[in-house]
Amino acid sequence: MTLLVALTWDPKPWVDRFELHLPEYPVAVLGNEFDRSAVRYVATWGPKPGSLSDLPALEAIFSLGAGVDHLMGYPNLPDVPIVRVSQDDLTHRMSEYVVMHCLLHLRDQRRYDAAQRAKQWDADRTPPIAGDVRVGVMGFGVLGQDAARKLQLMGFDVAGWSRTPKTVQGFEIFSGPEGLEKFLARTDILVSLMPLTPETRGILNASLFAKLARDGQLGGPILINVGRGGLQVESDILAALDRGILKAATLDVFQVEPLPTDSPLWTHPRVTVTPHNSAVSDPDKTARYIAQQIRRHEAGEPFQNIVERSRGY
């Protein structure tokens, strides 16, 4: 029996952590020689076509990150449970990112950054407080709910949007296409935390931006996308910024990653670019989580956080 690590980046920190937290399991690395018939589990992110085939003893695939869209389009994906890694520290990091960037927009900190570069004492303004600003969290799963709760604790007026009707105490949650317009009409800062599915691909486009609130306290609606780059139409974001439909955008994900050097997003004065690091999986904590799931499974208990293939997340 073997755990196969199938990554497109340096697997060493992951192998080390699996050997530490799951010492009973030999670890194989895709690219090296290993016995395919011994592989019982795969830990992967963005596996290359073919790398998951011909594993007759496979019992589960662990996805090393919050989303599983990297697996959903995989040809001949083995018919075993796909387990999402959703450990607390990834959730914390995501909420820290979302709260920080909402506060940066609330306080117009980028204006102060520019003033500092120009050595200007730009003091004559009273920013709104969080309670004056409506944040809309689109995608209200584990990550969306944690971010929403922390935004609310900081004082923001938070609502959610979910594909299917959902009840979470303390939040107004809109749902479905019919709830989307109302949700957008009360949103000053849109936080996108949706999974990437055929339904959500390209959903952050000109038509959606035009429906965001125009009567807010921030001088125009703001987009924060921390879901997947495939959710957004970057040419529409740039056009909306230049036409005043969007005031600013914070993007952690892109249609092509790494973001190509010639993308105008890098240098747009009202765009913040971060390198898809809003919620990095920590190898140590992730390996611990997977070890725990494997031990549950081998003790006859079900895996937690199994992906529902029909909906794609």
Inter-residue contact 253 to 279 (CB < 8 Å): no
User: Which member of 131, 176, 219, 244 binds a copy of itself (CB under 8 A)?
Assistant: 131
Residue 89 binds to a copy of itself (criterion: CB under 8 A): yes
Binding residue count for a copy of itself, defined by CB under 8 A: 47
Given the residues 17, 40, 101, 228, the one annotated as active site? 228
What lies within 8 Å, CB to CB, of 91 at 6+ separation is: 142, 143, 146, 279
User: Which member of 46, 127, 179, 220 binds a copy of itself (CB under 8 A)?
Assistant: 127
Residue 171 binds to a copy of itself (criterion: CB under 8 A): no
Known catalytic residue: 228?
yes
User: Which member of 99, 159, 204, 231 binds a copy of itself (CB under 8 A)?
Assistant: 99
- Cα–chain center distance at 233: 16
Please, which residues bridge with residue 224 across strands?
191, 250
Q: Around Cβ 242, how many Cβ atoms within 10 Å?
A: 12
Angle at 59 (CA atoms; ends 44, 144), nearest 5 degrees? 50
Residue 264 binds to a copy of itself (criterion: CB under 8 A): no
Inter-residue contact 145 to 169 (CB < 8 Å): no
Residue 272 binds to a copy of itself (criterion: CB under 8 A): yes
Q: How far is the CB of 197 from a copy of itself (least distance, A)?
A: 24
CA of 137: how far to CAs of 30, 60, 180, 241, in Å?
A: 37, 31, 11, 20
Judged by DSSP in three states, 138 sits in strand
Inter-residue contact 180 to 217 (CB < 8 Å): no
Given the residues 214, 276, 295, 296, the one annotated as active site? 276
Which DSSP letter does residue 66 get?
Answer: S
Residue 280 binds to a copy of itself (criterion: CB under 8 A): yes
What lies within 8 Å, CB to CB, of 296 at 6+ separation is: 302, 303, 304
Residues 226-245 as x/- pattern, contact with a copy of itself by CB under 8 A = --------------------
Residue 99: closest CA among 254, 279, 285: 279
User: Which member of 76, 261, 269, 308 binds a copy of itself (CB under 8 A)?
Assistant: 261
- Select the span of 56-64, 65-73, 90-98, 208-216 touching a copy of itself (CB under 8 A): 90-98
Residue 38 binds to a copy of itself (criterion: CB under 8 A): no
Judged by DSSP in three states, 160 sits in strand
Residue 266 binds to a copy of itself (criterion: CB under 8 A): yes
- Select the span of 18-26, 78-86, 92-100, 290-298 touching a copy of itself (CB under 8 A): 92-100
DSSP string, 34-50: --GGGEEEEEEESPPTT
Residue type, position 299, single letter:
A
User: Which member of 76, 79, 121, 169 binds a copy of itself (CB under 8 A)?
Assistant: 121
Q: Tell me phi and psi for residue 69, to 5 degrees.
A: -60, -25
Residue 16 binds to a copy of itself (criterion: CB under 8 A): no
Residue 114 binds to a copy of itself (criterion: CB under 8 A): no
User: Which member of 1, 20, 57, 100 binds a copy of itself (CB under 8 A)?
Assistant: 100
Catalytic positions: 228, 276
Residues of this chain that interact with a copy of itself (CB under 8 A) are 89, 92-93, 95-97, 99-100, 103-104, 106-107, 109, 112-113, 115-116, 119, 121-123, 125-127, 129-131, 150, 153-155, 257-259, 261, 266-267, 272-277, 280-283
